[in-house]
Structure 1
Amino acid sequence: MRVLVAGASGVIGRQLVPLLTAVGHEVTAMSRSTGGPDMLDRAATVEAVRRAAPDVVVNMLTAIPKTLNPRRIAQDFEPTNRLRTEGTRNLIAAAPDARHIAQSVAFAYAPGEGLADEDAPLWLEAPRQFTPNMRALVDLERMTMEAGGLVLRYGHLTGPGSIYDQDGSTTQAVLAGKMPIVGGGGSVFSFTHAHDAATAVVAALDRNVTGALNVVDDTPMALSDWLPAFARKIGAPAPKRVPAFAARLAVGEFGVAYMTRLRGADNSRARLRLNWRPRHASFLDDAE
């Protein structure tokens, strides 16, 4: 099968390309860092994609900075939001007869009780700083599904090149004692190792599945549980506890919501429809 991976140099793409090749697919890896077209340039994208003539287009396009500022989340994500809207539109226009598989996120569900399945509402009433990100995600998912494609909603990415890698920004913040537990630390995190994100794509190629699937590990954890355990595991100081009102002054409304209101996701549907299992069942099992 001819598979085009857009965003092949990203955290997931670097795991995905060798896996696809190993199982016998003919892979075209595209990224700007390796001389590929600017996916925001419609003409260049159409020319490059049509030259590759893919059976499947895997959309892993992002441009996320290595370090994020919660107060500037909209500005920091502006390039990624454009890739999720304009870039997705260009990829679908370039390969209208191909199957499309796109990366989304599983931590954008509206706050609620229990784990979210794929029918749970998205966080359309998120704090103002996150609103552009949500609009872009909704557009990406809508366009992909209207094209008869599959959206893979990944959790907080871990593994090589992620913010939880040894030199990743979150790991460094925890080591420096700069990542506190805000309020009760009630956010529930569902993690996804980059290798598991890639194996879900490989599994999807063999199955005619559409819609959206949560591709997350088996062990959702409240921040108040995983952050102290992670700090102990990497030899960092115990995280401080900061009241929400005090944290709001430093990180804004979205920063507080990220630490206190995120909802974890359920992976049952991905396990059933893709016959997929995460090799990395728990973030803490993998943390060094």
Structure 2
Amino acid sequence: MKIFLAGASGAIGSQLTTALVARGHEVVGTTRSAAKADALRALGAEPVVFDALDPESVADAVAKADPEVIVHQLTALSGPTDFRRAKQMAAATDRLRTVGTDHLLAAARAVGVRKVVAQSNAMWMERIGGPVVDENGRIEPNPPADAGETVAALRHVETAVTGITWAEGIALRYGAFYGPGTGVELAPDAGMAGQIRQRKFPIVGGGAGVWSLVHIVDAVSATVAAIERGKRGIYHVADDDPAPVGEWLPELAHVLGAKPPRRLPAWLVRMLAGEAPVNLMTQARGISSEKAKRELGWTLRYPSWRKGFIEGLG
């Protein structure tokens, strides 16, 4: 198929480009930076530099590509992850998930795209019920005020994409990525791994929030399966071992050769960083990916982060 991959130079986009080209698909890959065009070309994609927040830029790029499928992997989640920059990246990503999504869908409809696959994530599943939820679960309707825009943006991309009637619309709720290119890897001082090595990524409160993780190679293979075989709706994409932060974070620090993470009381983190990080560390719920395995024929290389941390961070 001819696939328009928005966000082809990102953490998942670059590896997804390679995987799609290897399977015989023709990929038109977008980037915000002209400097990254040659790298995309080297991966086998036709590079396009565009601004996802400019409707004319998006419409022109999609019209010229005339794809059968659009894959929306646009985020601004890259570079250093200090708190101030994290807030800026989150705000920019929110815009890409609202305004950017709307522009992509309008352009897709205009050229007769038959499938749209978009990135969501599972960090803000509703905070009720047990520790693990399937696709019947919904995005948290009452998030902390300082997470309101981010959660609304996730809800928007899911509702907008799965609600289209003129094509198959699929939203992928990914678990937290780890592995090469994600910042959670062995590369020196890479993203979150750098924070863990510097003991700047603490366990908050009891660390009871349950996170689902997914190695980047498994996230890529699930996305390929959704592009090729997915049906309208939502699929969860994570490994089979959701676990509390207080369990997996010390293991990750150990594999990275770091000292154990600090433990900070929730009241202190709430005062310094807000309610959202406290909520994620203490109340998050994991996800089940049984639907993706059953309906897409998806198999995991790393069914558990326990093995993935040891074998898959390099």
Please report the TM-score for the alignment, with normalisation by the length of structure 2.
0.87
CA RMSD for the aligned pairs? 1.7
Which residue of the partner structure matches residue 121 of structure 2? Answer: 105
Q: Distance in 1 between matches of 2:185 and 2:121?
A: 19
1:243/1:45 Cα in 2 relative to 1: closer, same or farther (>3 Å)? same
The aligned amino acid for 2:100 is: G
Q: Deviations over 1:206-265 (max 9, x none)?
A: 325111010111111111111111122222112222221122222221121121111111
3-state SS in 2 of match to 1:206: helix
Determine which structure has greater relative contact order: mean sequence separation of CA pairs < 8 Å that are 6+ residues apart, divided by chain length. Answer: 1
Tell me what 1:88 maps to: 101
In structure 2, the partner of 1:64 is: 77
1:94-173 to 2 correspondences below 5 Å: 94-96=107-109, 97-98=112-113, 99-112=115-128, 113-147=130-164, 148-166=168-186, 167-173=189-195
- The 1:5–1:282 alpha-carbon spacing in structure 2 relative to 1, beyond 3 Å, is same
What's 1:32 paired with? 32
Deviations 1:1-41 (A, max 9, x none): 11110000001111101111111111111111235110111
Percent identical: 38
Aligned structure 1 segments of 4 or more residues deviating by more than 6 angstroms: none
Partners of 1:107 and 1:265 within 8 A in 2: no
The 1:31–1:110 alpha-carbon spacing in structure 2 relative to 1, beyond 3 Å, is: same
Structure 1 residues not aligned, in runs of 5+: none
8 A contact 1:70–1:254 mirrored in 2 = no
Question: How far apart, in 1, do the equivalents of 2:85 and 2:273 lie?
Answer: 9
Whether 2:239 is the aligned partner of 1:217: answer: yes
Task: Please say if 1:186 is aligned against 2:199.
Answer: no
Helix, strand or coil at the partner of 1:224: helix
Could you give the per-residue CA deviations for residues 73-105 of structure 1, whole angstroms, max 9, x where no partner exists?
554312111111111111111121211000000
Secondary structure in 1 matching 2:49: coil
Check whether the contact 1:127–1:254 (CA below 8 A) recurs between aligned residues.
Answer: yes
Aligned partners of 1:136 and 1:71: how far apart in 2? Answer: 20
- 1:205 deviates by 2.7
Q: Say how many residue pairs are matched.
A: 288
CA separation in 1, counterparts of 2:80 and 2:274? 16
User: What letter matches 2:66 in structure 1?
Assistant: A
In structure 2, list runs of 5 or more residues that go unmatched.
38-47
Pair 1:25–1:125, CA change in 2 (3 A): same
How far is 1:280 from its partner? 1.9
